[in-house]
Structure 1
């Protein structure tokens, strides 16, 4: 009997060790880049992973404090609120039900910002378009489109005006509505990290998550933080720059169609879906960069502008005037051109200059 008991104990220990080994292996597999904390003469650099992408944070601090642990913890809670990939996140729970009472502090602000940009862009930015994005093959399950019936059945469920919310809860006005904040969550996450750094007395920093950024103050050379805009070519190098922008206490986001697409019968299917037609947009705008007071707004507007196209985007910026744009597009002859709003021009230089 004692021998069997000892064998069971040994078996349990081995099983626990195997579980631990598998867990550690999976954790390592989920880290595509090395997580870094580097400190040099008052300059701190942090990097890691979040939201299915990477982040990089640079800040100046005479005390050379390391905030990586705190920032990672904040981003974990952030994802627990807004991720569509976490089954029990607040957003996932809402998508499976008809209403939700907020428990975390992130859902309400993104709803408020989404409503604002939805109205300003007359529906070009719409977080309820997610099912159509998935239908066209840009979700985790690949293409699901069979025919126009798919689109026609989903279009009635697209429309952010079918969502109601107040300071405590959010609810659907029609069953089947599905929210997806992937077009704004990274920008909002950048803002959340920026607010944390400011609360710790950090005045000079650059926060970047998956290409969305916020800059405050200056870099170690006393200059404005400078960031690049990629050249929008399908086969070009990912790090080949078209232009450089100096950020003066702004949030910045870029959206484009030139890499995230697939082809069917020689027709390019882009990941930007028009909420009005349910189909991928087809126009000459290749890349939209937006600068705004915060990154969440810049992120949402960059997405909306890729739906709207070049001319409507310029008209919107000239009307609102509380954000700046840099657009790269093909003209009617297929020539690559660019447009910068007046407020951005003093901060813009071109990589080939």
Structure 2
């Protein structure tokens, strides 16, 4: 009897091994969708689905709805209407969650992340409006109307002062990633990578049966986009990177960064070049990465270590001009700095 039981177990294992080999290609079948959203922002979505379902149309439709709700570049969007009328009753499913997430990051970053920074972003030439001629008095006047604590909201409605301007561009890509990831999960898909403009959510494993590996760009101005500094495994979490090496301009011999400090009203100037934040969702990761670029190296490290749901990887300029890094304990084993 015992020998027969062992034989049956061995036979069952053998059948399972053969079945898995015969169906290996089917199990690893991956769908790869590409497109653009939010104007010209590229997206790349990979997922494993035994049924081979193609969700391109559904995902594009989701992203269009999302963009038409929260884009300040669209005059009829919900956020544009809120900025104009100062009241919102939530016409879509996107504004309230974005307000709630923004409030969390604003508070935990001590105001370094502030989606009411828009008027200053605009006058410095990084928003939908044309750059203005600047002087310290204009900056001083605009910084008086900055502060997310001026925005009042609950689950039914939101209001703000007439001169307060909201702009969620610092978290838009991350939030868009979350919306697509949630959609895939709702379809029963458990292995996917969703990337919009460099911000990602990864769940499960790829077609090779390993965790998804994501590249982190080398933060050097004038370097060709896509040159990698490091790679990292992303295990069932979100990753967003912010830096000042792509979006900037030069004026009177000075580099003007797109990251405007809510504390001073001026573009930041410090040695932090790139901040990659791991978080439970991509909107949080995106917002905290932006906060890091305001805070600089030391204060960013403190914020990361004080927040248990965050991990971080920072690239900064050392005193000798070389690139130096910081990685929090939870991701040190996941990151490989390339030679």
Give me the TM-score of the superposition, normalised by structure 2. Answer: 0.90
Q: Which residue of structure 1 lines up, in the alignment, with residue 15 of structure 2?
A: none
Q: What displacement does 1:118 show?
A: 0.2
CA distance in 2, matches of 1:143, 1:74: 32
Q: Which residue of structure 2 lines up, in the alignment, with residue 64 of structure 1?
A: 52
Q: What displacement does 1:145 show?
A: 3.2
CA displacement 1:211-247 (0-9 Å, x = unmatched): 1100000000000000000001112121110000100
CA displacement 1:44-102 (0-9 Å, x = unmatched): 01111111211110000111000111111111111121111111111000011121111
Q: What displacement does 1:261 show?
A: 1.2
Q: Which residue of structure 2 lines up, in the alignment, with residue 348 of structure 1?
A: 335
Q: Which structure 1 residue ranges, 4+ long, deviate > 3 Å from structure 2?
A: none
Asked if 1:330 corresponds to 2:317, the answer is yes
Q: Which residue of structure 1 lines up, in the alignment, with residue 206 of structure 2?
A: 219
**Is the partner of 1:127 in helix, strand or coil?**
coil
User: Residues 1-353 of structure 1: matches in 2 within 5 Å?
Assistant: 42-52=29-39, 53-172=41-160, 174-352=161-339
With over 3 angstroms needed to count, the CA separation of the structure-2 counterparts of 1:312 and 1:41, relative to structure 1, is closer
**Is the partner of 2:50 in helix, strand or coil?**
coil
CA distance in 2, matches of 1:326, 1:59: 26
CA distance in 1, matches of 2:210, 2:261: 40
CA distance in 2, matches of 1:262, 1:156: 25
CA displacement 1:323-350 (0-9 Å, x = unmatched): 1110000123322111111101111112
**Is the partner of 1:143 in helix, strand or coil?**
coil
CA contact (8 A) 2:73 2:128 kept: no
CA distance in 1, matches of 2:128, 2:95: 23
CA contact (8 A) 2:114 2:262 kept: yes
Q: What displacement does 1:142 show?
A: 3.9
Aligned positions, number: 313
CA displacement 1:167-215 (0-9 Å, x = unmatched): 011101x221100000001101100100000000100000001111000
CA contact (8 A) 2:272 2:314 kept: yes
CA distance in 1, matches of 2:252, 2:68: 40
**Is the partner of 2:117 in helix, strand or coil?**
helix
CA distance in 1, matches of 2:206, 2:279: 20
**Is the partner of 1:184 in helix, strand or coil?**
helix
Give me the TM-score of the superposition, normalised by structure 1. Answer: 0.86
CA distance in 2, matches of 1:187, 1:145: 32
Q: Which has the higher mean CA deviation after the structures are superposed, 135-144 or 95-104?
A: 135-144
Tell me how large the CA RMSD over aligned residues is.
1.4
CA distance in 1, matches of 2:284, 2:295: 16
CA distance in 2, matches of 1:246, 1:118: 28
CA distance in 2, matches of 1:321, 1:69: 37
Give unmatched runs, 5+ long, in structure 1.
Answer: 1-38
Give unmatched runs, 5+ long, in structure 2.
Answer: 1-25
